Structure 1
Amino acid sequence: MKQTSTGKFSVSRRAVFAAGLSAVAAISILATGASYAQDALGTAEQPVEIRMIANEAFANQWQTNMVPEFNKVYPNIKVTIDGVPYAELLAKSLLDATGPAPTYDIIIADDPWIPQLASAGVLVDLKKDAAAWTSADYDWADFNAAPLAAGEWNGVQYGVPLRSNLLLMFTNKALYEKAGLPAPTPELTWEQFFQQAEKLVQDTNGDGKVDAWAVDTYFMRDALTPTIWQTILNSNGGALLDAGNKPTFNNEAGVKALQTHIDLLKYAPTGAVSHGFNESLQAFRQGQVASMFMWGSVFKGTAVDPSTTTLKPEQVGIQVMPVGSKSAGAHRGIWSGAINNKSENQQAAWALLQWLSSKEGEVWQSNALGVFPARKSTLATTPEHEWLKPVFAALQQGYDAAGEGQMWRPRHPKSDAVQQVLADETARAVAGQATPQEALQAAAEKIEKLLD
């Protein structure tokens, strides 16, 4: 055992693992290499208080489960997490961060928001300004490139991945078997998918009526609906914008990708044109569709939790989306933790973010909370829960594909506005109110003006 630069003690990695996962999370982040100012992490007499703004979908889980675990390591940092509805989170974060006396030390930002927050000049450069407070074994290179890039803007690392996600393909193996088809593999191509789709529209109980379909996903007008079309485009080597932020999707590749998305409706449940997140999820969980293109984070509630699904873990597969002309498909969705540069407690804020995104913190969060990791080393471990094993494999495949094909929403301070234009115009095409060519041309013209 040896004393660290913080005045606390660390033990050998072998001893830590022998003591169990909680001990790992509680001790190893205190490795040598970090140098904090005196009392920056608080004392028993004068604890430091930090406040975080986060999505209400997981804020309470963190407050209830994560904060007590963090306080085993840093007992003198008091953490309050305020949950805000997703639709209000970016606006509230920006309003607070740009004020003269911000309430929040930490901002938890969705995948496309870091450029807007960084451009407002409110974030800490974590690799530069927090370098002295960073443990020597934090290992930035261990992160998969795709999730780490969500926290970067203009060559500066403003955020670290804390809750990772990917758009993936879910499969109901029982319905494939019923149709006489082999369960899909990550090598499945879009051409093969459509060749099988007609057989997957079937009558499973013999009453003469179709009661199961091939697919469900986002079709309605929603900010996330274009991610389906975009992932198909990316898997064929296409891109939304060029290096000068000019649209590059209003071409043959873009039209073909959007038509592929539209063609899924032929094999989807009746009325699927109005389906989004909730509707497609319900259809899959009730065993009505053989495949679903959806965010991987719903896997536990879809394959494991009997209170939310009729399916069993052995019935549900998860993998990358079908292979295009260049690669398989996946679409990145990362929640990154960033620090307000006006915070008076930046060192304590980084202690929390560093602990949560460390190798040991990721392992703890994955096993204790089921949160998806971003590190290569975490994904190479054997998780405690059996249901996480196929998820880890799919995540690593997805990160590789997303990184290679830059499969994420627009990276620009006006990314939300761009996404809304794409949602409006692709929805017109999906609903049959415009041809794919017309919709994409209109979207390109609007986006070019928006980014000019």
Structure 2
Amino acid sequence: MIRFRKFATLVSRRALMAGAASVVASLSLGAAGARAQDNGLGTADQPVEVRMIANEAFASQWQTLMVPEFNKHYPNIKVTIDGVPYVELLAKSMLDATGPSPTYDIIIADDPWVPQLAEVGALLDLKSPEVQAWTDGGYDWDDFNAAPLAAGAWKDVQYGVPLRSNMLMMFVNKALYEKAGVAVPTAELTWDQYLEQAPKLVQDTDGDGKADAWAIDTYFIREPLTPTIWQTIMNSNGGQLLDEDGKPAFNNEVGITALETHKKLLEFAPTGAVSHGFSESLQAFRQGLVATMFNWGSVFKGSAIDAKTTTLKPDQVGIQVMPVGSAGPGAHRGIWSGTVSSKSENKQAAWAVLQWLSSKQGETWHSANLGVFPARKSTLSATPAEPWLVPVFASLQQAYDAAEKGKMWRVRDPRSDAAQQILADEVSRAIAGQVSAAVALQVAAEKIEKILD
């Protein structure tokens, strides 16, 4: 009996010790798990490296200016941004994201690319329980304007957040309007009124008998962004690219008239403008050669504020929505969304980068320091840090509202890039006078229907 009690006591002690060891092990694992969670954002001894692929047009600026600001808040996340030419960016992003070991944790995707990237499983659901656990409680998804936020969604899943919320806008050189004796336009200007005023804005400003200033410069060249001008004119008059069944809906009187209007703008543009696109029209406006420019709003700071890049003064430059059609003002969405690779080994850190950039704080810094357009309603309704942003914010909110109402964006489909190239080919043929607007849109509609079927 005594031996049994000693044995029982020994067993009990061993069991107790084992239980204690188990508790200690559990606590250790819990602590390790907590440390692993914390280490998702890096430590001073072991920083996390995040690599991003983005458009070379702004990648360098982000690397030199944005990353140091981000590191004030997240010092243990090292961000490297690789800039790629726009025409190569989608292909390189797709190739990397679908590979077995992607290089990039973050892909900065243009407006129509998210469906294609999402469809191949390349992107992380940013509202999944996993990501929501890493999301700050004050992030406020509902604060985003609907139009820019929707650019990062596909099939009701939010894959991206708006980082550079661009919109096609109308830029105005007030000095050339005044010199021509034409009233400086407002956001109520219609397309009919604009075309009526355009001939007066082609003028001889130095008295040598030759025109040296013109009414307009914009996209006319054969490239994927050129059809956005035609589409904006069409949308403002109630037209749409696709119907509810996803079939081409632009091959009609509204679409044809809009394309003819786009072509007519050439009559009031500088000589050789048929070969002009983003850079050429931007240069013409900044040199004071054109009274108006239809271009992406994010170029406002470099066109009106930065003396290194423009000859114009801040009080000479206006910005507003594009002219009004029968259905409302013109606008076109061009949002750059930040997305996280679904295969990234540093998802939490990658989301920290995008979360900060698209937060209320990040948007405020971004707009004040880099002139980047915000997407949040609270940012646009607040008093901006810089006075020059006041008219910009007001016009941008009008553009968001118009885009959402008129569905003013490019084709939303995994084959959107192919559809946009077809539109680029056919719109350019019409603008160059090779075929009529009706023939161009008929051909485009037939080709797009086949690839989307």
TM-score, normalised by the number of residues in structure 2 = 0.90
User: Equivalent residues in 2 for 1:213-252 (5 A)?
Assistant: 213-252=214-253
Counterpart position of 2:67: 67
1:361, distance to aligned residue in structure 2 (A): 0.9
Counterpart position of 2:284: 283
CA distance in 2, matches of 1:74, 1:398: 33
Amino acid at match of 1:273: V
Counterpart position of 2:122: 122
Counterpart position of 2:6: none
Pair 1:42 & 2:42 matched: yes
Counterpart position of 2:17: none
Counterpart position of 1:164: 165
Q: Quick one: structure 1 residues 125 and 36, their matched pair in 2 at CA, closer, same or farther if it must change by over 3 Å?
A: farther
Once the two structures are overlaid, the 10-residue window that deviates more, 438-447 or 82-91, is 82-91
User: Equivalent residues in 2 for 1:325-340 (5 A)?
Assistant: 325-340=326-341
CA distance in 1, matches of 2:65, 2:257: 46
Specify every segment of 5 or more residues in structure 2 that has no aligned partner in the other structure, as ranges.
1-34
Q: Deviations over 1:222-268 (max 9, x none)?
A: 11110000001111111101232210000111001111111111212
Identity %: 73
User: Equivalent residues in 2 for 1:373-388 (5 A)?
Assistant: 373-388=374-389
Pair 1:93 & 2:93 matched: yes
**Cα pair 1:158 1:338 within 8 Å, conserved:** yes
Amino acid at match of 1:146: A
CA distance in 1, matches of 2:79, 2:402: 36
CA distance in 2, matches of 1:436, 1:118: 34
Counterpart position of 1:298: 299
Amino acid at match of 1:223: P
CA distance in 1, matches of 2:392, 2:67: 25
Counterpart position of 1:420: 421
Pair 1:136 & 2:137 matched: yes
Q: Which has the higher helix share?
A: 2
Counterpart position of 1:16: none
User: Equivalent residues in 2 for 1:323-402 (5 A)?
Assistant: 323-402=324-403
CA distance in 1, matches of 2:378, 2:38: 33
1:432, distance to aligned residue in structure 2 (A): 0.7
Once the two structures are overlaid, the 10-residue window that deviates more, 298-307 or 92-101, is 298-307
**Cα pair 1:36 1:132 within 8 Å, conserved:** no
Once the two structures are overlaid, the 10-residue window that deviates more, 240-249 or 304-313, is 304-313
**Cα pair 1:215 1:289 within 8 Å, conserved:** yes
**Cα pair 1:110 1:333 within 8 Å, conserved:** yes
Q: Deviations over 1:22-67 (max 9, x none)?
A: xxxxxxxxxxxxx992422122222222211111222222222222
Q: Deviations over 1:276-323 (max 9, x none)?
A: 222222222222211111111111221122222221111111100000
CA distance in 1, matches of 2:244, 2:416: 15
CA distance in 1, matches of 2:206, 2:338: 49
**Cα pair 2:174 2:318 within 8 Å, conserved:** yes
Q: Deviations over 1:81-119 (max 9, x none)?
A: 222222221111111111111111111111111011000
Question: 3-state SS of the aligned residue for 1:322?
Answer: strand
1:156, distance to aligned residue in structure 2 (A): 0.5
CA distance in 2, matches of 1:293, 1:418: 22
Question: 3-state SS of the aligned residue for 2:183?
Answer: coil
Question: 3-state SS of the aligned residue for 1:237?
Answer: coil
Amino acid at match of 1:284: F
Question: 3-state SS of the aligned residue for 2:44?
Answer: coil
Counterpart position of 2:32: none
1:218, distance to aligned residue in structure 2 (A): 0.9
1:122, distance to aligned residue in structure 2 (A): 1.2
Amino acid at match of 1:331: H
CA distance in 2, matches of 1:38, 1:297: 36
CA distance in 1, matches of 2:36, 2:395: 38
Counterpart position of 1:6: none
Amino acid at match of 2:150: A
CA distance in 1, matches of 2:439, 2:370: 45
**Cα pair 2:198 2:268 within 8 Å, conserved:** yes
Question: 3-state SS of the aligned residue for 1:416?
Answer: helix
Counterpart position of 1:52: 52
Amino acid at match of 1:118: A
Q: Deviations over 1:129-167 (max 9, x none)?
A: 411211111111111111101100011100000111111
Question: 3-state SS of the aligned residue for 1:113?
Answer: helix
CA distance in 2, matches of 1:277, 1:151: 24
Specify every segment of 5 or more residues in structure 1 that has no aligned partner in the other structure, as ranges.
1-34
Return the index of the structure with the highest Cα Rg.
Answer: 2
Amino acid at match of 1:337: G
CA distance in 1, matches of 2:316, 2:225: 27
Cα RMSD (Å) of the superposition?
A: 1.4
CA distance in 1, matches of 2:272, 2:75: 53
Question: 3-state SS of the aligned residue for 2:421?
Answer: helix
Counterpart position of 1:112: 112
**Cα pair 2:364 2:385 within 8 Å, conserved:** no
CA distance in 2, matches of 1:126, 1:36: 20
TM-score, normalised by the number of residues in structure 1 = 0.90
CA distance in 2, matches of 1:376, 1:209: 47
CA distance in 2, matches of 1:265, 1:283: 14
Counterpart position of 1:436: 437
